[in-house]
């Protein structure tokens, strides 16, 4: 397994779900990890969960849709740890109240989803990149979704944000390759997270029905777990992936291989 000792990693949306898997995985391989989230209780819990690992986790309570807070966060991490080696733009929301046809979606809900899911990726990249340019190295890994490749009913803002992440990934990869910076994305399928659990409750599904749906829709025969995505992220951030940039990896149990999933 790759060694990230003395590497500084920033993970947004890091306290729960896929983000928590990424935070723990980097801590397990020795990284100093800035776990960025607005859920302070979950953030403190994840710090306790990794005690005994070779890495270190520091929680930052930051809303990364706010430009000034993103800049302050990046400056603080650099001041504390000397740089930002890996940025994982993972934060994402899909409120159950947003499951509406586009013509019924409130403007403010569209803005909030796009601000958190897409604008935050731009802002955190914007304020991390100068430090990476100075170091002539760095990796940015964006959590997009299979929703960025295909879509479903009632998720116009979420789908647009995830498609935007994939385009931003390609553009940043081209812009910053000359500085030794790589930019990549992962597209999770259905992963067992609080977001999926909220959707299950909202739609009235039982846990058994959700699990069966995952079995039937994913060729691999199960729902994903955060560590599935985290393993891919660790690889993409490592030197073993040093010739990869501007592309994405589907961590989706084979959904996209089917050609349709919704």
pLDDT, tens digit, 9 for 90 and up, residues 60-102: 999 999 999 999 999 999 999 999 999 999 999 999 999 999 9
Backbone angles phi, psi at 112, to 5 degrees: -65, -45
79 in any annotated domain: yes
Asked if residue 261 is part of any domain, the answer here is: no
Q: Which residues pair with 86 in a beta bridge?
A: 9, 139
Helix (H, G, I), strand (E, B) or coil at 235: helix
Q: What are the structure tokens assigned to 155, written together?
A: 């998720």
For 32, the token pair is: 């100093």
Beta strands (DSSP E) in the chain are 8-12, 32-37, 56-61, 86-89, 138-143, 181-188, 248-251
Q: What is the mean pLDDT of the chain?
A: 94
Edge-to-edge strand ranges of the sheet holding 181-188? 56-61, 32-37, 8-12, 86-89, 138-143, 181-188, 248-251
Pick the catalytic residue from 127, 158, 176, 248. 158
The three-state secondary structure class of 31 is coil
**Containing domain of residue 40, as a range?**
8-253
As for how many domains the chain has, the answer is 1
pLDDT at residue 215, as a whole number: 87
pLDDT reading at 34 higher than 90: yes
Model pLDDT for residues 233-255, shown as the tens digit of each residue: 999 999 999 999 999 999 999 99
Q: Is the pLDDT of residue 262 over 60?
A: no
Q: Is residue 208 part of a domain?
A: yes
- Give percent of the chain above pLDDT 70: 97
Model confidence over 124-159: pLDDT tens digits? 999 999 999 999 999 999 999 999 999 999 999 999
CATH code at 82?
3.40.50.720
Q: What percent of the chain clears pLDDT 90, i.e. is strictly above it?
A: 84
Q: Is residue 151 part of a domain?
A: yes
For the beta carbon of residue 24, count every other beta carbon within 10 angstroms: 22
158-164: list long-range contacts, CB under 8 Å, 24+ apart: 158/94, 158/98, 158/113, 158/117, 160/114, 160/118, 161/92, 161/113, 161/114, 161/117, 161/118, 162/92, 162/117, 164/114, 164/118
- E strands, 173-239, in order: 181-188
Evaluate whether residue 3 is within a structural domain.
no
In a domain, 258, yes or no: no
Residue 199 has pLDDT above 90, yes or no: no
Instruction: Give the residues across from 143 on adjacent strands.
Output: 186
Residue 51 has pLDDT above 90, yes or no: no
Q: What is the pLDDT of residue 1?
A: 60
Burial 179-196 (b: 16+ CB within 10 A, else e): eebbbbbbbbbbbbbebb
> Is 260 inside a domain boundary?
no
Amino acid 52: pLDDT: 63
**Assigned token pair, 84:** 């930002």
pLDDT at 250: 98
Q: What is the pLDDT of residue 214?
A: 86
How far apart (Å, rounded) are the C-alpha atoms in residues 52 and 56? 9
Torsional class of 35: left (φ above 0), alpha (ψ -120 to 50), beta (otherwise): beta
pLDDT of amino acid 202 = 85
Residue 122 lies in a domain: yes
| Residue 176 pLDDT exceeds 90 | yes
Average pLDDT of the segment spanning 153-177: 97
Is 158 a residue of the active site?
A: yes
């Amino acid at each position: 397994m790759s060694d990230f000792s003395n590497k500084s990693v920033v993970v947004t949306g890091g306290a729960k779900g896929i983000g928590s898997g990424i935070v723990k995985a980097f801590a397990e391989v020795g990284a100093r990890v800035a776990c960025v989230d607005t859920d302070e209780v979950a953030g403190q819990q994840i710090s306790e969960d990794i005690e005994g690992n070779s890495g270190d986790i520091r929680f930052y309570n930051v809303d990364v849709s706010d430009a000034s807070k993103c800049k302050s966060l990046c400056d603080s991490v650099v001041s504390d740890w000397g740089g930002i080696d890996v940025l994982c733009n993972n934060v994402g929301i899909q409120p159950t109240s947003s499951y509406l046809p586009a013509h019924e979606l409130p403007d403010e809900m569209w803005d909030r989803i796009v601000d958190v899911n897409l604008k935050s990726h731009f802002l955190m990249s914007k304020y991390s990149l100068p430090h990476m340019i100075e170091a002539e190295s760095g990796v940015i890994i964006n959590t997009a979704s299979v929703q960025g490749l295909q879509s479903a009913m009632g998720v116009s803002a979420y789908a647009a944000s995830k498609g935007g992440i994939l385009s931003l990934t390609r553009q940043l990869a081209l812009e910053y390759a000359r500085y030794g910076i790589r930019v990549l994305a992962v597209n999770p399928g259905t992963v067992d997270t609080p977001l999926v659990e909220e959707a299950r409750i909202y739609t009235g599904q039982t846990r058994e029905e959700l699990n069966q749906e995952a079995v039937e829709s994913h060729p691999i025969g199960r729902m994903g777990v955060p560590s599935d995505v985290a393993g891919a992220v660790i690889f993409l951030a490592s030197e073993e992936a040093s010739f990869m940039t501007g592309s994405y990896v589907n961590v989706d149990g084979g959904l996209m291989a089917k050609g349709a999933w919704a």
